[in-house]
Amino acid sequence: MNASQQDLLRLHLTPGLGRIALFKLHQYFGNFTAALQAPPQHWREAGLTENLCNKVPAENDPKFQQIRQQLESQQVRLISFWDEDYPSLLREIHDPPALLYLRGKLPENDCFAIVGSRRATSAGLTLTRELATTLAHHEVCIVSGLARGVDSAAHRGALDAKGATIAVLGCGIDWIYPPENSRLFHEIQQENAIITEYPPETPPLAGHFPGRNRIISGLSRGVLIVEAAEKSGSLITGDFALEQGRELFAIPGALQNPNSRGTNRLLKEGAQLVTEARDILQSLWPEQPTKQEQGQYNTFADQLDEPVLSVFRILGHEPRHSDEIARECGLTPMQLSAILLDLELRGGIQTLPGNYYIRAQL
């Protein structure tokens, strides 16, 4: 942990100094080292109280040193809003965290959130795990909250596919909650990410989970709610998704099942209906290949030279007209015709009626 991160940690451990105060300090002073070196009256000019300045733990404070050493021993990274590796989608929401504590590493894949009941049905858990596995096979990172029930099934499904997943906590990074998810916690941090905005030693209090939910949706292109009662916390995540401009999905359920009342209401209000992973993929990633398909695509593309390679790369799962392809590649109709015939004979593309072409299933 470098000096500037230690300065940020001291501020974040200051009683009463939260997310908004950190943004005010950075805006006024330009960096947190300057804020710590400034006299208390300058904090007042930044919109904070002098008393708050006096509460910042000293660099040699035993409690601060204990937490710093603990974070370093657990290889916890601090990622601030102003760092380059801060998640880009999360940066766009109106109330982003100023600081994230990270165990593991953040995947680079597009993210999709799956949340739902802690007391989900066995059918709901099975479907959640299958959906997460299929999405992970398509290089989609699964985001959830490491809670019992649907959250755990979502993380487990991603791990089944050896895919990417992010667990967002409603407590400090040093807490494993619920305790029975200890094994899942450690599996995720090995190759993926566990994050929280709460400082170490923060317990998993009920009031922290709405804040956690805004991060889950903020990281993601869309949110799927699997099972949710009328007043489920999962619906709060759905509200955040709509507020943040994310796509909202829900799985329908039996009318007599209390866990389906929330999701069925969301569907009546316009959420996208999901019965299989394809519903999500077609909405958000219509041309996203699986890992196996991507490998086959790369193998086939490696055998091609220009300009054949350029034509092949243009074609995807949506039909393209030959005139459009020719314009985009800068080829004459005669040149393009020969290339398309070559690709078709190699099994790379398919010809459709009306001079339309599409990539073949390799």
* pLDDT mean over 187-213: 94
Pick 289 or 71 by higher pLDDT: 71
**How far is it, in rounded angstroms, from Cα 94 to Cα 9?**
23
Helix (H, G, I), strand (E, B) or coil at 46: coil
**How far is it, in rounded angstroms, from Cα 20 to Cα 99?**
11
**How far is it, in rounded angstroms, from Cα 96 to Cα 98?**
6
pLDDT of 127-137, one tens digit each? 999 999 999 99
* pLDDT mean over 91-113: 95
Indicate if the pLDDT at residue 361 is higher than 80.
no
pLDDT at 289: 64
Q: Which residue is associated with the tokens 């021993």?
A: 73
pLDDT at 247: 96
pLDDT at 147: 95
* pLDDT mean over 68-82: 95
**Which pLDDT band holds residue 233 (cuts at 50, 70, 90)?**
confident
* pLDDT mean over 46-59: 91
pLDDT at 161: 93
Indicate if the pLDDT at residue 287 is higher than 80.
no
Arithmetic mean of pLDDT over the chain? 92
Domains, the chain, in order of start with CATH, read: 1-67 (1.10.150), 104-284 (3.40.50.450), 291-359 (1.10.10.10)
Percent of the chain with pLDDT over 90: 75
Single out the residue of 102, 336, 348, 316 nearest to residue 215, CA to CA.
Answer: 102
Give the CA diameter of the chain. 78
**Which pLDDT band holds residue 290 (cuts at 50, 70, 90)?**
low
**How far is it, in rounded angstroms, from Cα 333 to Cα 325?**
10
**Which pLDDT band holds residue 292 (cuts at 50, 70, 90)?**
low
* pLDDT mean over 266-291: 87
Give, in degrees to the nearest 5, the angle at Cα 267 between 220 and 227: 70
* pLDDT mean over 77-83: 96
* pLDDT mean over 263-272: 92
* 8 A C-beta contact, residue 164 and residue 142: yes
CA dihedral 133, 137, 138, 139 (to 10 degrees): 100
Indicate if the pLDDT at residue 19 is higher than 80.
yes
pLDDT of 314-349, one tens digit each? 887 778 899 999 998 889 998 999 999 999 998 888
pLDDT at 299: 83
Pick 294 or 245 by higher pLDDT: 245
| Residue 277, C-beta contacts closer than 8 angstroms, at least 6 positions apart | 130, 131, 134, 135, 138
